[in-house]
Amino acid sequence: MSRVRFGAYLLLLAFVLIITGCSNDPGEKTANAAGKKTTGLSADEISNEAFKDQFPLQYNSYMKNKKMEDTKYNGSVKRSKYDPDKEPLLPILFNGYGFATEYNEDRGHVYALEDIRNVKRITDKSVGSCYTCKSTAVPQMIEEMGDDYWGANFNQVIWPKGEEMGHSPIGCSDCHDPKTMDLRVTRPSFYKALEAKGVDTSNPTKNDMRTYVCGQCHDEYYFAASNSEVIYPWTKGFKPEDMYEYYNTIAKENGFEKDWVSNISGTPMLKSQHPEFETHSSGTHGKAGVSCADCHMPYERVDGKKKISSHWWTSPLKTMQTSCGQCHGDRDLDKLKDRVLEIQEANVSALHDAQNVSTSAHYYVNKMITSGVDQAKIKEAQEFVRQGQWFWDIIAAENSSGFHNPQGSMDSLRISIERSNKAIQIATAELVKKGVNLEELTNEIEKAKQAVFDEKVNEKKKDAAVNSYFPAQAPVVPAPPKK
C-alpha cells in the first residue's frame, strides 16, 4: 500500500470519527457543563448491561464475543495449548510451575471471568494482580484499596468483593468513560510504564487511544517482589532482548529474579505473558501508525445502514474485507490471507524447533546435576537455558503466531535456538568428561518427550516429564494465573 493511500485512509478515518462523534445516539441526551453530551450514567458504572439501552448496536456487537470459532492457528475455541497440534512440550518446559498443569488458548472477552475462576493455576495463595485484566471492578478496587489491591488474596478478598460490586468481564467501562464515552485507560500500570519510558501520556491522540485501550492489558508484565504490583518491563525497549536485559538488571536489582525454578534443570526461569502491544508496536503495522482497533474493531454496517466500530474482538482473518480491505483494497484479499498464513506457518514451525531444542537443553542440565558436574559450569549452562526459553516464550505467548511482527518474531526464535544450543554445548563438554553415555542420554530425552506427548490427561503430563533417569530438581511452586 502506498503512503498516499494510507494518508487517504487517515483522512477517511478522521471523517468517520467526525460523523460518528456527532451521531444522534439516543443516549446522548444530557449535556454537561462543558456543553458535551453525556449518557446520564454514573461515573462508577461497571455493568455492561447498564449501557445496553443507550448503545444497543455496540452492545450486540460485544455479545458476539461469545462465538467460538477457530482459524488455522488461533481463534476462540477453548483449547489446551498442550494439544498435539499446538505446543505439546509445554508441560516439560514449564515443569515446576502452574503453567505445566493447565494452560489454554485465549478466547473472547466475555469469558474472562469464567476462565480465571476455573483455571487450575488459581490457588489459595493467588493474589489480586491476577484479576487485573479480567474484570470491570478493578479500577474502583484499586482506587479504594490503593497498593493493597495487588497482593490481596484472590480467593478470599478480591473475587468475593468483585462479585459484590457486580463485576462484568472486560467491558464498556474498561475502555470508555461511562459519562462521556470518551476512550480512557483504566489500568494505572500502563501509563506508569510508558512514562518510565519517557512517553508523554498527558495528551494522547485519538489514534494512540485506539491502541492504548488494548495495550493496557495485552502486554508482558511481572509482579513486583515487594507488593505484587503489575509492572511492565519496558524501560530498555519493547524487543525481547530489551525486556530480557531489563529482567536481568533492573528487575533483579528490585528483588525480582524469577517466576519459578525449573523442576527439570533447576534453572531460575521467567514466564512471558501476551506481549501483543510490544510486538505490534515494533512491527510493520505498528511503526506505520496502524492501531489495534483498525484491524480488530473495523467499521461495519449494522441494522442495514448505521456504521459502528465492531466490538467483536477476534481474529481479523474472519473479517478480511472490513479489517484489511480499508487499507489493502488494491490487493486480492484471498492472496493477502494466504500471505498471512505463510507468515504464520514459518513462525509456528520455527517456534516448534525452538521449543524442541529448549526442552533438550533442560534435560542436558538435569544430567549435569545428577552427574556431579561443577556448580559454576551448571550455572553457566542454566543462564543459557533461561535465555533460550525466554526468547521462544515471548513469541509463543504472543497470540498472533508471528503476524504482528513477522521479522521480529523470527529473530527472537533464532536467538532462542542459538542460546539453547549453547547450553547443550556446555553440558556436552562436561558430560563427556564425566563419561556419560551421550547416546543413551539423547534416547532418554526422546523417550521423556514421547511419554509427555502420549499421556492423555493434561494435568498428568507434567509427571511424565520426570522419571528415574531425569529426577525432579525443585519443589513445585503454585503459579499465579497469568494468561
Of residues 159-218, which lie at the interface with ligand HEC (CB under 6 A)? 170-172, 174-176, 181, 183, 206, 210-211, 213-218
Residues 118-137 that bind ligand HEC (CB under 6 A): 133-134
Contact with ligand HEC (CB under 6 A): which of 145, 336, 472, 477? 336
Torsion over CA of 169, 175, 180 and 181, rounded to 10 degrees? -80
> How far is 231 from 221, CA to CA, in rounded Å?
5
- SS3 of residue 355 by DSSP: helix
Q: Cβ of residue 66: shortest distance to ligand HEC, in angstroms? A: 10
Contact with ligand HEC (CB under 6 A): which of 93, 142, 297, 423? 297
Burial class (CB in 10 A: 0-12, 13-18, 19+), 306: exposed
> How far is 363 from 91, CA to CA, in rounded Å?
13
Is 339 among the residues that bind ligand HEC (CB under 6 A)? yes
Of 324, 325, 295, 320, the C-alpha closest to 310 is 295
354 dihedral zone (left: phi>0; alpha: psi -120 to 50; beta): alpha
Please check whether residue 69 is in contact with residue 77, taking contact to mean a CB–CB distance below 8 angstroms.
yes
Contact with ligand HEC (CB under 6 A): which of 142, 158, 251, 292? 292
Contact with ligand HEC (CB under 6 A): which of 41, 324, 394, 396? 324
Q: Cβ of residue 101: shortest distance to ligand HEC, in angstroms? A: 17
> How far is 23 from 21, CA to CA, in rounded Å?
6
Q: Which is nearer to ligand HEC, 112 or 381 (CB)?
A: 112
Give the x-and-dash track for 370-409 against ligand HEC (CB under 6 A): -----------------------------xxx-xx-----
Q: Cβ of residue 396: shortest distance to ligand HEC, in angstroms? A: 13
Give the x-and-dash track for 432-451 against ligand HEC (CB under 6 A): --------------------
Is 280 among the residues that bind ligand HEC (CB under 6 A)? yes
Per-position b or e across 104-127, b if 16+ CB within 10 A of its CB: bbbbbbbbbbebbeebebbeeebb
In residues, how long is the chain? 483
Contact with ligand HEC (CB under 6 A): which of 112, 130, 351, 397? 112
3-state secondary structure string across 384-406? HHHHHHHHHHHHHCCCCCCCCCH
Is 314 among the residues that bind ligand HEC (CB under 6 A)? yes
Q: Cβ of residue 214: shortest distance to ligand HEC, in angstroms? A: 3
Residues 216-235 that bind ligand HEC (CB under 6 A): 216-218
Residue with cell 498443569: 101
Q: Which is nearer to ligand HEC, 130 or 264 (CB)?
A: 130
Is 308 among the residues that bind ligand HEC (CB under 6 A)? yes
Q: Cβ of residue 398: shortest distance to ligand HEC, in angstroms? A: 8
Contact with ligand HEC (CB under 6 A): which of 296, 362, 461, 462? 296
Contact with ligand HEC (CB under 6 A): which of 45, 87, 102, 106? 106
Q: Which is nearer to ligand HEC, 63 or 451 (CB)?
A: 63
- SS3 of residue 135 by DSSP: strand
End-to-end CA distance of the chain: 35
Q: Tell me the β-bridge partners of 30.
A: 38
> How far is 290 from 211, CA to CA, in rounded Å?
9
Residues 34-93 that bind ligand HEC (CB under 6 A): 48, 51, 55, 58-59, 62, 71, 73-76
Is 316 among the residues that bind ligand HEC (CB under 6 A)? yes
Contact with ligand HEC (CB under 6 A): which of 120, 285, 352, 377? 285
In Å, how far are 237, 243, 275, 397 from 279, measured between CA atoms?
11, 12, 6, 11
